[in-house]
Structures are given as structure tokens and as C-alpha cells.
Amino acid sequence: MAITKILVPVDGSSHSLKAFRAALDIAKNKNAKIHVLTCLQKEDVGAWYIDKRTNKKIMGDAKKFAKEFLSKLEKPASDANVPISFNVLETKSSSNQIIKFSTSHKIDLIVIGSHGRSGFNKFLLGSVSNKVSQMAKCPVMIIK
């Protein structure tokens, strides 16, 4: 199977940084391009009783954090001579957005970090990596 396009969803965690590093190694060996995707979780303003101005500030802070994290990934990719694109999207469902992106960009491999949630938190919050692995049309590598 030829791997020319790798998707790496990142959230600023150490797990997503490990996933990026793994994808970078694969991309170097396969001469592939990396698409880095950050999904900013849009909340229903009414669901948490947050006014629109506060919600706008929260999203602005999230975008700033995402851009700062993504800027840290540019140099390693450049040093490895791996082409990379950065995508920051607002969504209500990160897992659905990752699948939609992977399909529309004809991604060959998704490399995603695992948060390692367990017990009640895993039941309550679910697992983006688990959902992606079940719904993706391409192979998914989960990095712990």
C-alpha cells in the first residue's frame, strides 16, 4: 500500500506530539506529506449558559493556543524535508471532523495519539481515537 498522505490530528497534548513524531518518521521513509489537523470544539452556547462574548473569547484563546502548538511542529518537519500543511477547524465533533477531512483529502494513513483515559472518564467522554479507528476508511495508527 502506497502512503503519500498522512493525517495527524493534534490537540496540544504530549500524546499528539508523539503521534506527530511517529508520522514524521513514516513520512520521511515514504516520501509522504503530513496534514496536521486541529479541531476546536464548538460548544452550544446555551448548553453551558455561556454568553456569546465569553464563548468568542474562549474560541479566540483556543485558536491562539492551537497556532502556538502548530508553530512548534514546523521546524522538525522542515528539518526532515517533509511537506506539511496545517488545518484548524471548528467543529462540534472532533471524530466526525477527522473522518470527514480524511475522506475529502484522500488520506492514506491516520496517526493519532491516545489519551489513555480509562474507567468512568472513558465511558463518559468517549475516545476520539477509538471512534476514528472504527469509522475511518483508511488504516489508523494509535500512538500511546
Of 90, 136, 141, 96, give the one whose Cα is nearest residue 114.
141
Cα distance between residue 108 and residue 105, in whole Å: 9
Confidence at residue 113, expressed as pLDDT on a 0 to 100 scale: 92
For residue 121, what pLDDT is reported?
A: 53
Provide φ and ψ at 44, rounded to 5°: -70, 115
pLDDT at site 47: 53
Q: In whole angstroms, what separates CA 12 from the centre of its chain? A: 9
Reported as a pLDDT band with limits 50, 70 and 90, residue 127 is confident
Q: How confident is the model at residue 18 (pLDDT cuts 50, 70, 90)?
A: very high
| Cβ atoms 38, 70 nearer than 8 A | yes
Mean pLDDT, residues 28-36 taken together? 97
Look at the alpha carbons of 6, 15, 12, 50 in this order and tell me if their dihedral is positive or negative. positive
Q: Find the mean pLDDT for residues 17-21.
A: 96
pLDDT in tens, 33-63: 999 999 987 765 555 566 777 777 878 888 8
* pTM: predicted TM-score of the whole model, two decimal places: 0.86
**Helix or strand (DSSP H, E) at 141:** strand 140-143
Fold for domain 5-143?
A: Rossmann fold (3.40.50)
Triad 22, 74, 65: Cα angle to 5°? 95
For residue 124, name the pLDDT band (cuts at 50, 70, 90): very low
The mean of the pLDDT values for the chain is 87
* Residue 30, pLDDT score: 97
More confident residue, 108 or 93: 108
